[in-house]
Chain A
Amino acid sequence: MNVAVVRFPGSNCDLDVVKALEGTKGVRPKLVWHEHGGLDRFDAVVLPGGFSFGDYLRAGAIAARSRSVGEVRRLADRGVPIFGVCNGFQTLVEAGLLPGSLLRNSGLRFVCRWVTLRVENNRTPVTGRCSKGDLLRMPVAHGEGRFFLPSAELDSLKKDGRVVFRYAQSTERDGRGCNPNGSLDGIAGICNKEGNVVGMMPHPERAVDSLLDPEGRSDGSVIFQSLASALGGAS
């Protein structure tokens, strides 16, 4: 199954996502320059992290108005899996494909740190191989990741089970700042009503190689394996 990884000027996790997908059975990733289009030839689209268009104006704001994201909007309507990581999540929110805003971190500083996530919804294309309540370790790295939504909308988001990941406390040492950015209700990732558009702030592609994981795990792999399964490409 073919997965497009969209490269905007300023994307910097594009190659990392490609690498993670290359190591996943059943998917073939391809880097697509944001102006080139042709995304409808793919079975899923990933918007990677980075600083698209230098994050000028607001993180993801310019990318959200690019030709690629126009195409992504049509694909999303058709039910094609769309997955945004970090700046990709910010872009999906800016494009209105996901609700809410991603505000400046509560600490007012960029934060790069390994965190624990709890899987809250395992019916999305990127969590199908998880169980609800699974704890996953992976890093965050962002300056604007504080998820916010007015309380009425937040209630319906929660009621609909559209919270996909929350920051969680796994061990004693995580007690200090298990929510790295002050996100409302500890929300780290959400999906749209149909469940095919998912965005998350943490970086699963950085937690695929066990060599790079301080605990020797590789919890990010399950996200990409889930995507492969959802596309029917994994054995």
Chain B
Amino acid sequence: MIDAEWSEHCSYKSSKALLKTLPTSGSRVLLGPGYDAGVLDAGDGCVVSLHIESHNHPSAVDPYGGAATGIGGVLRDILSIGTRPIALIDVLRFGNIGESQRSQWLFRNVVRGIADYGNCVGVPTVAGEVEFDESFERNCLVDVACVGVGRRRDLVLAQAKNPGDIVVMAGGSTGRDGVRGATFASKSLARDADSERSSVQVPDPFMKKLLIDSILDALETGEVKGMKDLGGGGLSSALPEIASKGGTGVELDIRRLSLREPDVTPLEAMISESQERMLLVLDRVRHKKALSILRKYGVPATIIGHVTDDGDITVKDGADVVARLPADFLANPPLIPRDSRAPVRQSDWVEPESPPDLSKVLLSLLSSLNVGGRRWIYEQYDHEVGVRTVLKPGQADAALLKLPNGRLLAVKADGNSAASALDPYSGASGCVAEACRNVVSVGAEPVAMVDHLQFGDPGDARVYWGFEEAVRGVADYCRGVGIPVVGGKVSFYNEDQLTGRPIKPTPIALVAGLVDKDERFVGPALKGRGDRIVLIGKTSMELGGSAYHSTVFGVQNGVAPRPSPQEDRRTNSAVLRLIRAGLAESVHDCSKGGMAVALAETCMGRSIGAEVELQGAPATRMGPASLLFSESHGRYIVSVRKPNLSKAGGLLARARVPYAVVGTAGGRSLRISLRGRRLVDVDVAKIIEGKESSISRALGEEQ
């Protein structure tokens, strides 16, 4: 039990001290890190919950089951605080699916696992992010985030406060699957990782759907006093947590558990990670209604023990006490100090000369795996169920969901493994900056985030240095723009089991934002011919880790883009004011592939071209290719109707945000010039074709 609960996966023993430096409070934060999910006040008694989980190791050995159970886990986190899961967001990393059979196998099955589970359970998958890089060849990353809604008065905490209350196990039966899963996740994959398949849990989305429906109904009875999902570490992790948080103890008899197979030993029962199970603490006297609701849905529920006042976790096998340990001791493992060492980097990078045909470069970027369209993935996900999805995958920079109180919730997750490998501080702060921009682009004010930091073995001082830098990057940026971190997750030991090389550091940020009642929201697509195109934000020579570098030169080197929270704060609020004032017809942020890719993407939605002259664009001195493809943060492309141009310009000037009117929407092609010299001239039809076909082409499928 101690092995499971004190594993890195459950205990955060290598990361806890650093994670304390993140800003976690804000006016909307009701619950921050340390609970199953972060909870935000969305107004009018309505709350929004957020959580992110990963299932990297399980997905690397069993991509279908691993990805599916990853969703199962994050759904339980949202459910266990008493909120209804309303949206899933997935962030994935694979090797090069254009070249590697193994990566194709992982990719196809991870997507299918997410689809089969998410679709069946009836929670729409509304947004996501994916990158392909060879460092993920054998250790793919599968992160799933979930958003929930509920009422403030219905929130339930993972605690057992009242001695005498009964402890109920609801949902699936307990088997040997997932035994030592948390331990498995807290080391590097073994060379013969296939032998670890029994560490992967078995998914049952149908049972999860019943669990969700029945528990949400049962909450209405007021009989549920505490709730905790059974995830990593199983009972050995959940019991100490509810007892320690409630200042109590728990006594249970493992013979009362409904077992899937005979001869499950007490130890296995305690650390099994069988899926679709929830632990409920019910009122000692009033618990009949809740139990009968579970029964109506056909959800097995058994009373396995009760809350005590002795502060101990007492495990009985019939009459025999097989374990007794203080809950606080189990729930609070000792922290491990880790060494860190900055890697030595060469700083003599010289930007290579760009190819002459920049139109061709643009097209090859658009159709590259890391920039190309994601339709192949998101069409396999039901993104509409629940009738809340206002802006859908592929339609805008962030997903937009209707909340019961009339507000709209924007969500988007981002990461940049290439930039993070060059400079984890910039990469980590950059992914927060990008996710914020995406949320701002649809017209939502960022209100909170959750992060997910994924690294190699923390015992390696260079890996641990990257982790420290990433945490510092997230902390500094969030503090600078005033966004609280309400939850998160750390995943270590992600490395290639053959080469022993760690994955590229992969910090991920999921940002949530709100659009007020009756306020405007916008999409990225140019809307009207003749609309003027405004470029907001300054371009610097920041091509390190860019899509341009990897696509054209196959290198990842140079200066990674570093966002400025002070400038971003000003820019984001100016863009939001443009949208709310009705001055912006469309808004799109510049990210992977830089300004040129962003411009091309604005042409796609309605097949409207644009004529652009970059002479006045705010930028430091650089060559044309760098100007087109640099991935500096803090930039947007906004289209404005001609009569509104002076108003919009005035607003931006007063906000001291650098901007320039760079072009006009219209025509059937995107033409970009610099001081009269034509750099790019590409048909919009070609842009659409290139962008839409990238994944099917890599997989060798017909469109």
Contact = CB atoms under 8 A, between A and B. Distances in A.
B703 A176 contact: yes
Nearest to B382: A141
A49 to B, nearest CB: 8
Interface in A179-235: 203, 205-206, 208-209, 211-212, 214
Interface string B101-136: 000000000001001100111100000000000000
A211 B380 contact: no
A211 B209 contact: no
A45 B204 CA distance: 29
A205 B120 contact: no
Interface stretch (B226-234, B383-391, B556-564, B670-678): B383-391
B210 interface: yes
Contacts of A16: 385-387
B379 interface: yes
A49 B119 CA distance: 11
Contact of B119 (A19, A33, A51, A206): A51
B380 A110 contact: yes
A10 B119 CA distance: 11
A13 B385 contact: yes
A141 B384 contact: yes
B296 interface: yes
Nearest to B207: A54
Contacts of B385: 12-13, 16, 49, 141, 206
Contact of B389 (A55, A111, A212): A212
Nearest to A141: B382
Q: Interface residues of A: mostly helix, strand, loop or mixed?
A: mixed
Candidate in B119, B390, B392, B607 with the most chain A CB atoms within 10 angstroms: B119
Interface in B180-227: 204-206, 209-210
A56 B116 CA distance: 12
A205 B703 contact: no
Interface in A2-28: 9-10, 12-13, 15-16, 19-20
Interface in B391-424: 392, 395, 402
B298 interface: yes
A9 B386 CA distance: 16
A65 interface: no
Contacts of B119: 51, 110, 141, 143
A109 B387 contact: no
Q: Interface residues of B: mostly helix, strand, loop or mixed?
A: loop
Nearest to A112: B382
Contact of A33 (B206, B210, B296, B390): B296
B458 to A, nearest CB: 38
Contacts of B115: 109-110
Interface residues of B, number: 33
A139 interface: yes
A53 interface: yes
Contacts of A111: 379-380
Which of under 10, 10 to 19, 20 to 34, or 35 or more describes the interface residues of A? 20 to 34
A112 B120 contact: no
Given A211-B402, A212-B389, A9 B298 contact: yes
Contacts of B205: 51, 54
A33 B214 CA distance: 13
A112 B380 contact: yes
A54 B120 contact: yes
Nearest to B395: A214
Interface in A137-152: 139, 141, 143
Interface string A103-135: 000000111110000000000000000000000
B215 to A, nearest CB: 14
B493 interface: no
A99 interface: no
A81 interface: no
Contacts of A208: 387
A206 B124 CA distance: 12
B381 interface: yes
Candidate in A19, A51, A112, A173 with the most chain B CB atoms within 10 angstroms: A112
A9 B382 CA distance: 19
B384 A112 contact: yes
Contacts of B122: 12-13, 50-51
B553 interface: no
A10 B205 CA distance: 9
B387 A206 contact: yes
Nearest to A9: B210
A113 B210 CA distance: 26
A50 B213 CA distance: 13
Interface in B340-377: none
A33 B204 CA distance: 22
B379 A112 contact: yes
Nearest to B392: A214
Nearest to A172: B607
A173 B121 CA distance: 31
B329 interface: no
Contact of A211 (B121, B298, B379, B390): B390
Contacts of A56: 206
A113 B379 contact: yes
Interface in B467-482: none
Nearest to B383: A112
Contact of B206 (A9, A139, A143, A206): A9
Given A15-B386, A54-B205, 14 more contacts: A12-B120, A54-B204, A55-B206, A109-B112, A109-B115, A110-B115, A110-B379, A110-B380, A110-B382, A111-B380, A173-B607, A176-B703, A203-B384, A205-B387
Interface of B: 112, 115-116, 119-122, 204-206, 209-210, 296-298, 378-390, 392, 395, 402, 607, 703
9 contacts: A10-B210, A54-B204, A55-B120, A112-B378, A112-B381, A112-B384, A203-B384, A212-B388, A212-B390
Q: Which 3 A-B pairs have the closest CB atoms?
A: A12-B122, A54-B206, A51-B120
